[in-house]
């Protein structure tokens, strides 16, 4: 009998820099006496990210959701946008806030990203863009989507909230498509407490994003467009800058955690792992999704999720329910049966993964999962024996 964890193990836990280092950094803010509005630390942080993402075309925001909303508005996206229901609600909300109609199409079963064939089939004269999600940090079929977008004259936009640090063919993921949004929320692999960023191809659009995130101010007396307030502040930039120094270690630790999960769970009946990623992808190990097959595992995904709680392990059902099934999107007409997304939504569970999760604890989580699974199997076979 394996004992429950004494302290709860959550699905995510933010990396925190050394407190003394952070205090040192705060002194700079106190010295400057400058908290927000394009402060020196935000500007320096922007440069650091520019280097990391290998592009000058970056724009920082107070969070990822406002970054995406402003990105869509700044690019003039309207009408219909083809998107995925297997994502966090903010993807779709950003369309809604721009009065854009979401057209939900299905995902592919290996990595849960938009199925390009379904995208192409859903294009109408009103379609202006594709909004795809690198879900769990798994890159979309970037080349196929780019080809579709080009042939149909559509903008290609990525919600890359999960994809910090991912590379495709040795290019940073933010260089694909017309625009990508990154989230630096505390629960993400990389964070600035809260924060967001756009990377984009057309350098001419940068000034529009800058206006839109700061009320449209051109000068003290000129407002050139009805913007909103979505500026990043100095505290966020300080945290972001300090976490950035550790991002390689963070990704490496997550790689080790993932390797243990994969090795130990591979043979568990009823637990399905994702296939190996193609060789040209540099992955960030942002999440650890598994699928639970109710018949083979002996209990449903939801029962398993509850059972893990008894051991003080808090997994998440990402993404369930599908966005299109939330009350606020019930009235959106959907042609695609979303077969793959529905199946994934009912079977998926993401397991704890974060920088200071001890590798021994990962082993123990796996042992608990194995024990839960085999207990169910024994239970089933004894029931069967009783019937015989």
Ligand X SMILES: *Cc1c(COP(=O)(O)O)cnc(C)c1O
In the complex with ligand X, which residue's Cβ is closer, 181 or 366? 181
As given in the structure block, the two tokens for residue 316 are: 């998440």
Using CB under 6 A, which of 59, 100, 161, 372 touches ligand X? Answer: 161
Smallest separation, CB 194 to ligand X (Å): 6
The nearer residue to ligand X, 212 or 265, going by C-beta atoms, is 212
Tell me the C-alpha distance between 224 and 221, whole Å. 10
Q: Which residue, 174 or 196, has its beta carbon nearer to ligand X?
A: 196
> Of 12, 29, 65, 200, which lies in the binding site for ligand X, with binding defined by CB under 6 A?
65
Minimum separation from the CB atom of position 160 to ligand X (A): 8
* Contact call for residue 159 and ligand X (CB under 6 A): yes
192 and 25 in contact (C-beta within 8 Å)?
no
315 sits near ligand X (criterion: CB under 6 A): no
Contact between 316 and ligand X (CB under 6 A)? Answer: no
DSSP SS3 for 207: helix
Joined together, the tokens standing for residue 196 give 């967001």
Residue from 57, 73, 84, 183 binding ligand X (CB under 6 A): 183
**What DSSP string runs through 172-187?**
EGGGSSSEEEEE--TT
104-133 footprint of ligand X as x/- string (CB under 6 A)? -----------------------------x
Say whether residue 165 binds ligand X (CB under 6 A). no
Query: Taken in order 253, 259, 260, 265, is the CA torsion positive or negative?
Result: positive
Min separation Cβ 24 and ligand X, Å? 27
Window 68-97: contact mask with ligand X (x via CB under 6 A): -------------------xx-xx------
How far is Cα 208 from Cα 322, in angstroms, rounded to an integer?
33
Token pair for 121: 């089939």
Among 46, 71, 116, 196, binds ligand X (CB under 6 A): 196
Which positions ≥6 away from 192 have C-beta within 8 Å?
45, 184, 232, 236, 237, 239, 240, 241, 243
Q: Which of 156, 188, 171 is nearest to 55 (CA)?
A: 171
Least separation in angstroms between CB 293 and ligand X: 25
Identify how many contiguous H helices and E strands the chain contains and give both numbers: 13, 15
Total residues in contact with ligand X, by rule CB under 6 A? 14
Position among 46, 59, 63, 142 found at the interface with ligand X (CB under 6 A): 63
CB of 31: closest distance to ligand X in angstroms? Answer: 29
285 vs 297 by CB, closer to ligand X: 285
Whichever of 112 and 305 has its CB closer to ligand X, that residue is 112
| Shortest Å, Cβ 329 to ligand X | 15
DSSP for residue 166: -
Per-residue buried b or exposed e for 143-155, using 16+ beta carbons within 10 Å of the residue's own CB: eebbebbeeeebb
- Does 185 contact ligand X by CB under 6 A? yes
CA 381 to chain CA centroid, nearest Å: 40
Cα–Cα dist 362/257, whole Å: 7
Q: Which residue is nearest to ligand X (CB)?
A: 64
Asked if 162 is part of the footprint of ligand X (rule: CB under 6 A), the reply reads yes
C-beta closer to ligand X: residue 183 or 214 = 183
Residues 6 or more apart whose Cβ sits within 8 Å of residue 138: 111, 112, 113, 274, 277, 283
Stretch that binds ligand X, among 63-71, 96-104, 164-172, 239-247 (CB under 6 A): 63-71
Residues that bind ligand X (CB under 6 A): 63-65, 87-88, 90-91, 133, 159, 161-162, 183, 185, 196
């Amino acid at each position: 009998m394996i004992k429950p964890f004494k302290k709860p193990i959550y699905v995510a836990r933010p990396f925190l820099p050394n407190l003394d280092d952070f205090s040192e950094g705060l002194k700079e803010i106190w010295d400057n006496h400058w908290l927000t509005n394009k402060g020196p630390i935000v500007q320096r942080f922007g440069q650091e990210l520019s280097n990391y993402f290998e592009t000058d075309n970056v724009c920082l925001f107070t969070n990822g959701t406002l970054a995406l909303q402003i990105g869509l508005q700044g690019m003039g996206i309207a009408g219909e946008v083809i998107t995925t229901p297997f994502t966090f609600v903010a993807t779709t909300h950003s369309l809604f806030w721009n009065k854009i109609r979401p057209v939900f199409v299905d995902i592919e079963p290996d990595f849960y990203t938009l199925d390009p064939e379904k995208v192409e089939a859903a294009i109408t004269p009103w379609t202006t863009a594709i909004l795809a999600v690198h879900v769990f940090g798994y890159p979309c079929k970037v080349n196929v989507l780019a080809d579709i977008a080009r042939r149909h004259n559509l903008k290609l936009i990525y919600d890359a909230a999960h994809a910090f640090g991912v590379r495709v063919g040795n290019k940073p993921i933010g260089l694909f498509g017309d625009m990508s949004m990154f989230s630096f929320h505390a629960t993400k692999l990389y964070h600035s407490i809260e924060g967001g960023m756009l990377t984009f191809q057309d350098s001419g659009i940068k000034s529009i994003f800058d206006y839109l995130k700061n009320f449209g101010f051109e000068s003290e007396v000129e407002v050139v467009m009805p913007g909103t307030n979505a500026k990043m502040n100095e505290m966020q930039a300080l945290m972001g800058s300090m976490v950035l120094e550790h991002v390689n270690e963070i990704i490496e630790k997550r790689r080790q955690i993932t390797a243990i999960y994969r090795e130990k769970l591979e043979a568990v009946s009823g637990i399905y792992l994702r296939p190996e990623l193609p060789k040209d992808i540099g992955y960030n190990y942002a999440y650890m999704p598994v699928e639970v097959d109710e018949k083979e595992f002996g209990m449903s995904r939801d029962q398993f999720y509850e059972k893990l709680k008894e051991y003080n392990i808090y997994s998440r059902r990402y993404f369930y329910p599908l966005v299109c099934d939330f009350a606020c999107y019930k009235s959106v007409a959907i042609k695609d049966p979303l077969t793959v997304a529905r199946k994934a939504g009912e079977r998926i569970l993401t397991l704890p993964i974060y920088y200071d999760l001890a590798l021994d604890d990962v082993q123990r989580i796996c042992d608990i999962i194995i024990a839960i699974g085999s207990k169910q199997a024994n239970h089933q076979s004894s029931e069967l024996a009783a019937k015989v």
